[in-house]
Structure 1
């Protein structure tokens, strides 16, 4: 098949996307597909349009805004070009943390208490409301951003103003939520609608105090324990929540669902990633590997599932 890989892009997660794209391109070449590698630039739409009209299928290796948020998916649907992964609505909902949390709560999936703010609101009122509502430590982060970019774990009142300012440099809306301490867990979900399955749960043990950007992407930044060393009953519960979250947002083909396992609250969902990282240190390929699916086989499986969906 002639398969395009959209990667790179213009978001603040460009470097991660370049690594994801590289992995996808190498896998497709090993599978003998005819690969068109496209470093996505929304300012070159005419050229992009001509390139994409030549391909049978698109793999999206983009992360962050203008890639993971439904915009590229909408462009491909307007063009009538088949692509791998979730559609416009699911991508947009998953990227909007505030809206996603509302959907999770509607489906009885445990979430951390949170409050959203818009940049046009009074900063003074905002900070007063945060102080009155949340007990330290708590989290301030952009509403639509990934890879912990713009996120602050607030441990003193003096941090609040700077944390709010930093979050607003990434997005026009921010979200403040209770900090839930516990074990970092993630569940990869695979399959077409009605036939999704949760892969083995991975526990992430960061080398630093928090699971930050460096812990996620630097070699040796964290240890992945797969399968996570938790009870069978708890495993089934968390995998059920992951499948439920994937379906509630309307995700397709694959996603990765992140949780905190709190000693007090049990599993608490953090977010759903519709385009999880596919770098050499990424979690989704690790989960696939745990059930005997190599990186290359995983990419072909994504293609097969997508062709089944479009047939």
Structure 2
């Protein structure tokens, strides 16, 4: 796999010929109040949809509320489905419907990773376990529910510890109380998360170093991969910690900056290894943090990352890095539309290559 840096030609926006005769269906759900929000709000999904119209002859937008809505899309047989979220939530009458699984069964191509791989996005413990077994550094951890451990001496790891939901995104459940330094704080935060999310809680060692987010754009056909990292510097909270919780992300006050060498190459290598070991495809975002010795550790994988134009880290990592490429090589800046078009282009090229075999 050839890794491409930020001075690569592939970061340069392309001037397109007449529209390609493809039907691209953009599938979204109203994720308001959900633990996992995929690309983001319906407004965000429509922004992604709008970006595709300049390139493809037919682009349709589908807000899916029932399985029958999916059946209508399947009957239309689009050339590619853009998945803006992972699943249709379970109802009293029906189980959760995973979009990637549904379209795979119907023989319709879709963007991003398959259902099995997306489980690593939904289950942080599962991803960490697979990566640990493959020799990739991540913070030591355990899963816990209230009253499982009766005192500090019974905890599998020493305090301080970091507590977060097992399967939530966008900093949900993470706040200034997520780092616990005594057993009573641990007990209270654990009970809060268990009540709010109804599942065991992920309890990790605290990584005290700098934090990074890395956009990955993967071209399986050309066996090339763009790895585009950014450092994230959240403001300090009332306890003096820099934590990327839901409130911090909502306020959008964190600082972003490009990463210097040789650390940049270390971060890129780890992100690429994680993407490969998890079996991800097309695109994704890998979050990384340094320990107190400056060693990069995997935090979590976001294989259907947020796509809100002005605040989500994936498009911002692409755009920030293209700006650096422009300064070095005179290339044009990458726009939000270019990011959306690149994701669709990668998926279509992968599908075309499979069909040609």
What's the TM-score once normalised by structure 2's chain length? 0.76
Instruction: Tell me if the contact between 1:4 and 1:37 (Cα under 8 Å) persists in the aligned partners.
Output: yes
Cα deviation, 1:281-307, whole Å, max 9, x if unaligned, reads: 111112222224322122222122111
Query: Which residue pairs with 2:288 in the alignment?
Result: 259
Q: Find the counterpart in structure 1 of residue 72 from structure 2.
A: 50
Please list every run of 5 or more consecutive structure 1 residues that lacks an aligned counterpart in the other structure.
Answer: none
Match of 1:107 among 119, 123, 134: 134
* Residue of structure 2 in register with 1:172 after alignment: 199
Conserved in 1, the CA contact under 8 Å of 2:166 and 2:202? Answer: yes
Deviating beyond 4 angstroms after TM superposition, the runs of 4 or more aligned structure 1 residues are 63-67
Given that 2:24 and 2:56 are in contact with CA atoms closer than 8 Å, whether structure 1 keeps it comes out as: no
Please say which structure displays the higher CA radius of gyration: 2
- Secondary structure at the aligned position of 2:147 is classed as helix
Q: Contact (CA 8 Å) 1:20, 1:61: kept in 2 or not?
A: no
Aligned-residue RMSD, C-alpha = 2.6
Distance 2:263 2:190 in 1: 36
- Report if aligned partners of 2:271, 2:286 keep a CA contact under 8 Å in 1: yes
2:209 to 182, 185, 193: 182
Query: Which residue of 137, 141, 145 maps to 2:164?
Result: 141
* CA shift for structure 1 position 40: 3.1
Tell me which moved more, 69-78 or 44-53: 69-78
Q: Which of these residues, 310, 335, 351, is aligned with residue 294 of structure 1?
A: 335
Within the candidate set 24, 36, 45, 1:3 is matched to 24
Post-superposition offset of 1:208: 4.2
Q: Structure 1's 155 and 17: CA in aligned 2 closer, same or farther, altered over 3 A?
A: farther
The whole-number CA distance in structure 2 between the counterparts of 1:130 and 1:112 is 20
1:195 paired to 2:223: yes
For 1:154 and 1:40, how far apart are their aligned partners in 2?
A: 40
Aligned to 2:244: 211
Unaligned runs of 5+ in 2: 1-21, 91-95, 238-242, 323-332, 353-357
How is 1:1-311 mapped onto 2 (pairs within 5 angstroms)?
1-10=22-31, 11-14=34-37, 16-41=40-65, 44-54=66-76, 55-62=78-85, 71-117=98-144, 123-128=146-151, 132-151=155-174, 152-168=178-194, 169-193=196-220, 195-209=223-237, 210-218=243-251, 220-225=252-257, 227-228=258-259, 230=260, 232-279=261-308, 280-289=310-319, 290-291=321-322, 292-311=333-352
